[in-house]
């Protein structure tokens, strides 16, 4: 990393977390939610992807998903490991959120790597990504638990990430606006978690 | 100083000792005569008079920094029962015993409770935390500062570079280069001053370098710990907005000057 550009890398990290990674998460979980309408409903909705030409899908995947997530994840791990926890001395709400953001982030790097291996890479190797595939994955109770924790980590990380995005870009400055942002982002966390967990449970 | 009051009570203390910079640390227990209204410094002075541990072993006097004794210089900060604060304004009566004293380890420990806060002073130089008024001729009077603004800026000017916010911050440590909350808030203070604002772009660009403003992780411990009640996190958020504008101005702006 070139000298004296840390500010821009950090701002880029903050921005990419929302656009496109955060938007992608909302889109992804919403699409998964169609599984609550049954196997056929889900297969139909993800079938829309098949209509997109393969080369275009690959470009979109790399530009909108893989590269931003890779940068956000790897730079985020660097950020997480430069922090020193002091929750014993400062057990405040914000300090907890600070640590949880880092813990959930590091966990997500592991979870997402596994998730991509289990679905996207298998597809590249010839497997079909459909209702059946997920059904087989979550038939294992450990995998189901791993996925639920992964989904909750992702929804939390995004919700709290929106809160820090608002501070980091100087949108919420006052104490009261930051407080309101806390409530709004936590409601968002709960709603998105319901969508995400309901979706994974639909495969059980 | 004598212990003439003779209350018969004692104060139990535990102090993290360290003889040299980077040397081994050890806990030592002390028991000093209690006097009403004692602060942590007067307890340390009692140890200095009679450097004997609680189990009767002779030891070296404990060293610490102090100066004003009225919580305005910031020199006597240390970690008292887990919280960084000033030892002059911390009263023994309000503490649980044993009173545990440690140096603020986010700074290099010089000896015992003495730390080297140089990184804070260097940071103030880096961000030009002053109002530049020197010239080769008389620059005359500067612009007037609105009274309400002055009153508000006074709150930010209470910073005494004590280092408590640095100790409380999870992102300030030897393994991280973060400049820390105190110098950042000073940027806001001097960018508020009408004459100081004449170089506000230089200050903003200084905190947009490595280890600058963007390394804040929003744990908000600083504002909880600050003994002067300085709105450090509001300062940081305000600077976040100012640097967002400065970032675009640097790239898209027709020139890089102030205003």
Contact B237 A86 (CB under 8 A): no
Instruction: Choose among B178, B162, B176: nearest CA to B78.
Output: B162
Say yes or no: B250 contacts chain A, CB-CB below 8 A. Answer: no
Sketch the domain layout of chain A as residue ranges.
6-201
pLDDT at A1: 44
pLDDT at B252: 87
pLDDT at B256: 61
CB-CB: which of A97, A169, A174 is closest to B240?
A: A169
With bands split at pLDDT 50, 70 and 90, how would you rate the model's confidence at B258? low
Which of A6, A102, A103 should one mutate to test binding to chain B, selecting the residue with the greatest count of B CBs within 10 A? A6
Give percent above pLDDT 90 in chain B. 85
Specify the higher pLDDT residue, B119 or B4.
B119
Arithmetic mean of pLDDT over chain B: 93
Average pLDDT value for residue range A143-163? 98
* Per-residue pLDDT at B134 exceeds 90: no
Specify the higher pLDDT residue, B186 or B139.
B186
Contact A6 B247 (CB under 8 A): no
pLDDT at B257: 67
Instruction: In whole angstroms, give the CA distance from residue B166 to residue B169.
Output: 5
* Per-residue pLDDT at B254 exceeds 80: no
pLDDT at A16: 98
Average pLDDT value for residue range A127-132? 91
Q: Walk me through the domains of chain B, giving residue ranges and CATH numbers.
A: 10-115 (3.10.20.30), 118-252 (1.10.1060.10)
Convert the pLDDT of each residue in A13-37 to its tens digit. 999 999 999 999 999 999 999 999 9
With bands split at pLDDT 50, 70 and 90, how would you rate the model's confidence at B259? low
Q: B187 contacts in A (CB within 8 Å)?
A: none
> How far, in whole angstroms, is CA A9 from its chain's centroid?
20
Arithmetic mean of pLDDT over chain A: 95
With bands split at pLDDT 50, 70 and 90, how would you rate the model's confidence at B181? very high
Question: What's the gap in Å between the CA of A174 and the closest CA on chain B?
Answer: 6
Average pLDDT value for residue range B73-97? 97
CB-CB: which of B215, B221, B238 is closest to A10?
A: B215
Entry pTM:
0.93
pLDDT at B255: 66
Question: What's the gap in Å between the CA of B194 and the closest CA on chain A?
Answer: 22
Question: Under CATH, which number does the domain A6-201 receive?
Answer: 1.20.1300.10
With bands split at pLDDT 50, 70 and 90, how would you rate the model's confidence at B5? low
Instruction: In whole angstroms, give the CA distance from residue A79 to residue B176.
Output: 9
In what helix (H) or strand (E) does residue B77 lie, and over which residues does it extend? strand B77-80
With bands split at pLDDT 50, 70 and 90, how would you rate the model's confidence at A3? low
Q: What is the 3-state secondary structure (H, E, C) of B5-59?
A: CCCCCEEEEEEEEECCCCCCEEEEEEEEECCCCCEHHHHHHHHHHCCECCCCCEC
* Per-residue pLDDT at B242 exceeds 80: yes
In what helix (H) or strand (E) does residue B78 lie, and over which residues does it extend? strand B77-80
Q: B82 contacts in A (CB within 8 Å)?
A: 88-89
In order of A161, B10, B31, B83, B89, the CA distances from B38 in angstroms are: 46, 11, 14, 18, 10
pLDDT at A4: 82
Q: A169 contacts in B (CB within 8 Å)?
A: 240-241, 244
Size of interface A-B (CB pairs under 8 A): 107
Convert the pLDDT of each residue in A44-90 to its tens digit. 999 888 889 999 999 999 999 999 999 999 999 999 999 999 999 99
Contact B82 A6 (CB under 8 A): no
pLDDT at A84: 94
ipTM score of complex: 0.93
Residues B147-158 as b/e (b if ≥16 CB within 10 A, e otherwise) read eeeeeebeebbe
Question: What's the gap in Å between the CA of A80 and the closest CA on chain B?
Answer: 9
pLDDT at A116: 96
Instruction: In whole angstroms, give the CA distance from residue B104 to residue B166.
Output: 9
Q: A15 contacts in B (CB within 8 Å)?
A: none
């Amino acid at each position: 990393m070139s000298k004296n550009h840390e500010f821009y890398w950090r701002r880029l990290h903050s921005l990419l977390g929302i656009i496109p990674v955060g938007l992608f998460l909302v889109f992804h979980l919403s699409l998964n939610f169609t599984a609550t309408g049954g196997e056929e409903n889900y297969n139909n909705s993800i079938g829309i992807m098949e209509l997109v030409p393969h080369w275009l899908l690959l470009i979109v995947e790399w530009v909108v998903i893989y590269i931003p997530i890779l940068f956000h994840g790897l730079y985020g791990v660097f950020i997480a490991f430069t922090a020193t926890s002091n929750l014993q001395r400062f057990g405040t709400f914000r300090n907890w959120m600070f640590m949880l953001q880092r813990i959930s982030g590091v966990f997500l790097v592991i979870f997402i790597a596994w998730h991509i291996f289990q679905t996207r890479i298998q597809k590249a190797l010839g497997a079909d990504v459909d209702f059946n595939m997920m059904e087989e994955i979550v038939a294992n109770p450990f995998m189901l638990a791993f996925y639920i924790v992964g989904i909750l980590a992702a929804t939390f990380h995004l919700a709290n990430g929106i809160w820090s995005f608002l501070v980091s870009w100087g949108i919420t400055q006052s104490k009261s606006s930051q407080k309101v942002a806390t409530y709004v982002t936590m409601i968002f966390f709960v709603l998105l978690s319901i969508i995400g967990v309901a979706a994974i449970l639909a495969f059980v | 100083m004598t212990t003439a009051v003779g209350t018969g009570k004692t104060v139990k203390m535990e102090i993290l000792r360290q003889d040299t910079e980077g040397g081994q640390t050890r806990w030592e227990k002390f028991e000093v005569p209690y006097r009403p209204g004692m602060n942590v410094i007067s307890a340390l002075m009692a140890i200095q008079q009679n450097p004997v541990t609680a189990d009767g072993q002779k030891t070296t006097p404990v060293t610490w920094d102090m100066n004003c004794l009225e919580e305005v210089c910031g020199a006597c900060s240390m970690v008292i029962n887990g919280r960084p604060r000033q030892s002059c304004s911390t009263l023994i009566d309000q503490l649980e015993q044993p009173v545990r004293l440690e140096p603020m380890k986010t700074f290099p420990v010089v000896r015992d409770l003495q730390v080297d806060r140089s990184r804070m002073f260097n940071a103030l130089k880096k961000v030009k935390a002053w109002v530049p008024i020197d010239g080769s001729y008389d620059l005359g009077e500067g612009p007037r500062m609105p009274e309400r603004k002055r009153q508000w800026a006074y709150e930010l000017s209470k910073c005494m570079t004590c280092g408590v916010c640095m100790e409380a911050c999870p992102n300030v440590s030897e393994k991280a280069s973060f400049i820390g909350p105190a110098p950042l808030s000073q940027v806001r203070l001097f960018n508020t001053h009408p004459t100081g604002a004449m170089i506000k772009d230089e200050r903003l660009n200084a905190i947009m370098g490595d280890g600058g403003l963007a390394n804040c992780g929003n744990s908000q411990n600083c504002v909880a710990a600050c003994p002067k009640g300085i709105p450090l996190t509001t300062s940081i958020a305000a600077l976040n907005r100012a640097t967002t504008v400065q970032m675009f101005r640097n790239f898209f702006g027709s020139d890089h000057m102030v205003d």
